[in-house]
Amino acid sequence: MNDTIIAGLLGLLEGLTEFLPVSSTGHVLLAGHFFGFQSTGRAFEVLIQLGAILAIFGVYAKLLIETFVAAPRDPQARRFIGSVLIAFLPAVVIGVLAHDFIKRVLFETPVLIAVMLILGGVVLLFVDRWKLEVRHNDATKLPLATAFKIGVIQCLAMIPGTSRSGATIVGAMLMGVSKRAAAEFSFFLSMPTMAGAFAYDLYKNRDALNSDDLGLIGIGFVAAFVSAVFIVRGLLSFVSRHGYGLFGWWRIILGTLVLLAIAAGY
């Protein structure tokens, strides 16, 4: 299978998993491992994520545009924007300080990714079944302190296999945010987080990437955008009715299969 086809498949996988609490980066890295796909500086796996994030803007464009237009005169609009930016700040600090370690060590450890998938699945199952008190039902009206704590928890997702959306959703639910609102806030937080990761990773790899690398990234980027649109539209209604248990089991099963495959020499 040539790299162009693999890039398209990995892009589709990224878009399908970015907003599910299953770790899109973990899925893409593991799939790339078994396909024998090695991107320059591991930039492909990070840069294609912006394609999935653009799907969020497509779905929430009206709300986002109205919020920014109203911000100069509407305290609630400014509070919403502020909550997302405050939640984004911890990822900026940790991401810059730990960037090289994450890319050179954590991204290259399939066993760690599989273990984190399993552990995250267990946590997700536990929290999903726990009868938590719901105090916040609107993702645009979270207290700033709550938003900041969610942002701190998001940093755990820098360990591949943890899941950015999974960490933020679980963290939000533990702080009294409803399942639907937790997913929505995770959506909103993903935009500055992944846009920042895209810009910083592109800067770090600016001298290493060639035209072939950029072509593969472009293919993965488009594929991620297309597949993510369908997930964003359906995820909120699914979790409102069924919760997150299915994703917890998927993580555990996948992580176990990966460990068995690695033990068998694959």
The residues with which 177 forms a beta bridge, in sequence order, are 136
Name the pTM for this structure.
0.84
Give whole-number Cα distances, 46 to 101, 122, 140, 158, 166, in Å: 15, 26, 27, 11, 17
Local mean pLDDT, 10-residue blocks, the chain (266 residues): 88 89 88 84 83 83 91 94 95 88 82 93 89 90 95 92 90 92 91 87 84 89 89 77 88 94 87
Helices (H), 210-244: 211-242
List the domain boundaries for the chain: 3-263
Tell me the C-alpha distance between 93 and 61, whole Å: 28
How many other CB atoms sit within 10 Å of the CB of residue 62? 8
Tell me the C-alpha distance between 203 and 36, whole Å: 26
State the pLDDT at residue 74.
Answer: 94
Quick one: tokens of 71?
Answer: 């911000």
Which residues make Cβ contacts (< 8 Å) with residue 21, sequence separation at least 6?
120, 124, 163, 165, 166, 169, 170, 244, 247, 248, 251
State the pLDDT at residue 73.
Answer: 94
Please, what is the average pLDDT of the chain? 89
Coil/strand/helix, residue 244 = coil
Degrees (nearest 5) of the Cα angle 266, 17, 204? 80
Tell me the C-alpha distance between 114 and 109, whole Å: 9
Residue 152 C-alpha from the chain's centroid: 14
Which residues make Cβ contacts (< 8 Å) with residue 207, sequence separation at least 6?
none
**Which amino acid, one-letter code, is at 82?**
G
Cα dihedral 253, 255, 260, 262, rounded to 10, equals: 150
Contact 156, 217 (CB under 8 A): no
State the pLDDT at residue 39.
Answer: 80
DSSP label at residue 159: S
